[in-house]
């Protein structure tokens, strides 16, 4: 609010409940921008911030589901109007149903910052509110809010880093348990359940995203999330999974042998990707003076060299469109793909958090050495940008060949 001009009003709405089918709802997840501003986790809530001359510099008005004994009988206790003033520092608070009355005035301020109501199910997308916003849009310019919040979110506070350390540890330890437990007698679905269980047993509220649990050639599909096949002896399993802890996501990928022992071609290809992963992680500092796009360029160059060492002859198109078709990383935070509107060409600054996730996916195509065909490998870590060197949040998840094989052999 300090950075905004006089006469500014910020309107932020949380998500409503989302449905899988008919009356069957998904586990509730708050809009992360609203959560960042408010810390409030109940559906159908909203907040209006008005810049003023008070000591605080602004007035915070919240709209929330009110206390209601019959609704609370079904859905559990609500914070209520008095609670949200006491616990969430609201100057004023009202029943969500009164939001349309207030937004009308709010939209008349000199500078209005809010995101399009059509983007997400929230009390902003209700018809009366939507028509008022559409009307205001024609009258004056409403400026987008999310990019402003993303600018705040991209640099983590020391407290956020502490929470993300815990989030990383939880997920990394869950990978250790998953490796120890993996065997050809299980399915991908069972390995998914194992990871979910281990994350939640350590304090995660939920997995941060639908994981990829892809054994054998299933790993060649980047977004394989069916996770329903039997895992075969002799195959690798590629797992991209992370828990959410106090709102903050982890995003780890490890690839390990279903039977616990790499074959020779698997190990060679794995080592190539691992070398790229480690070299790129070293670049995660302010001193390196580099962006995520910059690290990506380095990763493609290194990958080409690593592949040449083991007999691949590939051109740039084959490398960047077929074998390694995705980016080396993204920002990480409350969202897995955090600050998604901010460019990856900005120089990395202290306390940004990024993923480093080079991968190789060799299709059944005789342009590539036959012994590597059908193998998919990705190794992904979460790194806090430091002054001179990174802090790797996911360092406890094994990734050296010897560590993985030791872990897999240790079957409890
Ligand atoms: Mn990722």
**For residue 116, pLDDT beyond 90:** no
pLDDT tens-digit readout, 179-188: 999 999 999 9
Could you give the residue ranges of the DSSP H alpha helices within 251-385? Answer: 264-281, 292-309, 316-317
Overall pTM > 0.85: yes
Q: How far is the CA of 167 from the centre of ligand 1 (A)?
A: 15
In sequence order, what are the residues at sequence separation of 6 or more whose Cβ sits closer than 8 angstroms to the Cβ of residue 350? 155, 286, 385, 386, 387
Answer yes or no: is pLDDT of 258 > 80.
yes
* Residue 128, pLDDT score: 75
In a domain, 126, yes or no: yes
Quick check: 303 and 326 in contact, CB under 8 A?
no
User: For residue 217, what are its two tokens?
Assistant: 């050639």
Helical ranges in 88-145 per DSSP H: 99-106, 127-139
pLDDT digits (tens, 9 = 90+) for 314-347: 999 999 999 999 999 999 999 999 999 999 999 9
- Ligand 1 centroid to 357 CA: how many Å? 7
Q: What are phi and psi of 283, to 5 degrees?
A: -85, 0
pLDDT given at position 411: 77
On whether both 129 and 160 belong to a single domain, the answer is: no
57 and 122 both lie in a single domain: yes
Distance 45 CA to ligand 1 centre (A): 30
Write down the pLDDT at residue 138.
65
Cα 331 to middle of ligand 1, angstroms: 9
**What spacing in Å lies between the alpha carbon of 85 and ligand 1's midpoint?**
37
CA nearest neighbour of 182 among 257, 252, 234, 242: 257
Q: How many angstroms separate the alpha carbon of residue 377 from the centre of ligand 1?
A: 14
- 184 and 307 together in one domain: yes
The chain-wide mean pLDDT, for the chain, equals 95
Distance (angstroms) between ligand 1 centre and the Cα of 241 equals 9
Contact status, residue 328 vs residue 380, Cβ threshold 8 Å: no
Residues 249 and 135 in one domain: no
Asked if the structure places residue 3 within a domain, the reply is no
In the prediction, which pLDDT does 119 show? 67
**% of the chain with per-residue pLDDT over 70:** 98
| Mean pLDDT, rounded, for 267-278 | 98
Q: Which residue range is the domain that position 228 belongs to? A: 155-409
Question: 379 CA to middle of ligand 1, Å?
Answer: 10
Distance 77 CA to ligand 1 centre (A): 35
Q: Using the 8-state DSSP alphabet, how is residue 380 labeled?
A: B
Among residues 249, 236, 276, the alpha carbon closest in space to that of 357 is found at 276
Cα 164 to averaged position of ligand 1 atoms, centre (Å): 15
Contacts of 162 (CB under 8 A, 6+ apart): none
Asked if residue 186 and residue 63 are part of one domain, the reply reads: no
122 Cα–ligand 1 center, Å: 27
230, pLDDT greater than 80: yes
| Per-chain residues with Cβ under 5 A from ion ligand 1 | 251, 355
Residue 263 phi, psi (nearest 5) = -75, 170
Q: Where among 89, 123, 152 does a domain terminate?
A: 152
Indicate if 206 and 279 belong to the same structural domain. Answer: yes
pLDDT in tens, 118-148: 666 777 777 777 777 777 776 677 899 999 9
Which residues make beta-bridge pairs with 42? none
Q: Would you state the pLDDT for residue 379? A: 98
Q: How far is the CA of 355 from the centre of ligand 1 (A)?
A: 6
183 part of a folded domain: yes
- 103 shares its domain with 187: no
Q: Is residue 185 part of a domain?
A: yes
The CATH number linked to 113 is 3.40.350.10
- Among the candidates 104, 131, 152, a domain finishes at 152
**58 alpha carbon – ligand 1 mean position (Å):** 37
- Structural domain tally of the chain? 2
Mean pLDDT of 334-361: 97
Q: What's the 256 CA to ligand 1 centre distance in angstroms?
A: 18
The continuous run of DSSP H or E covering 197 comes out as: helix 188-201
State the DSSP H helix or E strand holding residue 150, giving kind and residue range, or none if neither: helix 146-153
How many whole angstroms from 252 Cα to the centroid of ligand 1?
Answer: 7
Residues 314 and 229 in one domain: yes
Cα–ligand 1 centroid distance for 205 (angstroms): 19
Task: Dig out the tokens for 50 from the structure.
Answer: 């008005």
Give the per-residue pLDDT at 412: 58
How far does residue 366's CA lie from ligand 1's centre (Å)? 29
- Do 198 and 109 share a domain, yes or no? no
**Ligand 1 mean position to 392 CA, how many Å?**
14
What's the sign of the alpha-carbon dihedral 111, 113, 117, 122?
negative
Candidates 199, 193, 207; CA nearest to 26 is 207
208 and 345 assigned to the same domain: yes
Using CA atoms, how far apart are residues 323 and 325, in angstroms rounded to an integer?
6
CA of 336 to the centre of ligand 1 (A): 7
Q: Is residue 2 part of a domain?
A: no
Supply the CATH number for residue 256's domain: 3.90.230.10
179 and 146 part of one domain? no
71 found inside a domain: yes
| Model pLDDT for residues 71-105, shown as the tens digit of each residue | 999 999 999 999 999 999 999 999 999 998 999 89
Of 152, 173, 190, which residue is a domain's last?
152
Identify the helix (H) or strand (E) that includes residue 40.
none
Q: What is the pLDDT of residues 187-229, one digit of tens each?
A: 999 999 999 999 999 999 999 999 999 999 999 999 999 999 9
Q: How far is the CA of 258 from the centre of ligand 1 (A)?
A: 22
Kindly tell me if the per-residue pLDDT of 34 is higher than 80.
yes
* Distances 131 to 43, 47, 78 between C-alpha atoms, Å: 22, 19, 29
**For residues 245 and 167, is the Cβ–Cβ distance under 8 A?**
yes
Q: Is the dihedral of CA 336, 338, 343, 346 positive or negative?
A: negative
- Residue 76: CB partners within 8 Å, gap ≥ 6? none
CA 107 to ligand 1 centroid distance, Å: 38
Asked whether residue 189 is domain-assigned, the answer is yes
Between the CA of 227 and the centroid of ligand 1 the distance, in Å, is 18
CA distances from 82 to 87, 91, 92, 118, 211 (A): 9, 11, 9, 30, 39
**What's the pLDDT score for residue 217?**
97
Q: What are phi and psi of 74, to 5 degrees?
A: -90, -50
Burial class (CB in 10 A: 0-12, 13-18, 19+), 20: exposed
Q: Percent of the chain beyond pLDDT 90?
A: 89
Is residue 299 pLDDT above 90, yes or no?
yes
Say whether both 136 and 232 belong to one domain: no
Answer whether residue 410 shows pLDDT above 80.
yes
Question: And the tokens for 196?
Answer: 């979910």
What's the gap in Å between 207 CA and the centre of ligand 1?
13
What pLDDT score was predicted for residue 122?
77
Mind listing the pLDDT tens digit for each residue in 148-159? 999 999 999 999
CB–CB of 111/5 below 8 Å?
A: yes
Angle between helices 292-309 and 264-281 (to 10 degrees): 150
């Amino acid at each position: 609010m300090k950075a905004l001009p006089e006469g500014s009003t910020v309107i932020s709405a949380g998500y409503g409940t989302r449905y899988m089918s008919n009356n069957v709802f998904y586990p509730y997840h708050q809009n992360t921008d609203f959560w960042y501003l408010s810390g409030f986790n109940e559906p159908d809530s909203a907040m209006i911030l008005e810049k003023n001359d008070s000591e605080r510099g602004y007035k915070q008005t919240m709209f929330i589901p009110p206390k209601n004994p019959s609704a609370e009988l079904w859905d559990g206790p609500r914070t209520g109007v008095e609670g949200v003033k006491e616990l969430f520092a609201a100057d004023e608070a009202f029943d969500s149903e009164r939001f349309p009355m207030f937004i009308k005035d709010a939209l008349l301020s000199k500078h209005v910052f809010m995101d399009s109501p059509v983007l997400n199910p929230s009390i902003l997308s209700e018809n009366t509110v939507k028509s008022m916003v559409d009307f205001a849009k024609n009258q004056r310019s409403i400026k987008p809010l999310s990019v402003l919040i993303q600018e705040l979110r991209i640099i983590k506070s020391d407290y956020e880093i502490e929470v993300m350390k815990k989030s990383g540890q939880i997920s990394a330890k869950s990978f250790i348990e998953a490796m120890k437990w993996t065997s050809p007698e299980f399915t991908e679905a069972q390995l998914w359940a194992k990871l979910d269980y281990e994350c939640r047993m350590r304090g995660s509220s939920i997995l941060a995203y639908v994981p990829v649990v892809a054994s054998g050639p299933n790993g060649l599909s980047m977004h394989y999330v069916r996770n329903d096949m039997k895992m075969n002896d002799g195959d690798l399993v590629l797992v991209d999974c992370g828990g959410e802890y106090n709102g903050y996501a982890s995003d780890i990928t490890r690839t390990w042998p279903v039977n616990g022992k790499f074959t020779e071609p698997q190990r060679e290809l794995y080592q190539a990707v691992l070398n790229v992963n480690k070299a790129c992680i070293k670049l995660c500092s302010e001193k390196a003076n580099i962006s995520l796009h910059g690290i990506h360029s380095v990763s493609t160059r290194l990958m080409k060299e690593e592949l040449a060492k083991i007999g691949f002859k590939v051109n740039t198109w084959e490398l960047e469109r077929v074998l390694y078709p995705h980016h080396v990383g993204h920002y990480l935070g409350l969202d897995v793909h955090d600050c998604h509107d901010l460019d990856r060409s900005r120089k990395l600054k202290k306390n940004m958090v990024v993923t480093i996730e080079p991968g190789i996916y060799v299709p059944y195509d005789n342009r590539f050495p036959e012994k590597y065909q059908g193998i998919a490998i990705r190794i992904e870590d979460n790194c806090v940008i430091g002054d001179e060197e990174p802090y790797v949040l996911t360092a406890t998840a094994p990734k050296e060949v010897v560590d993985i094989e030791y872990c897999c052999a240790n079957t409890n």
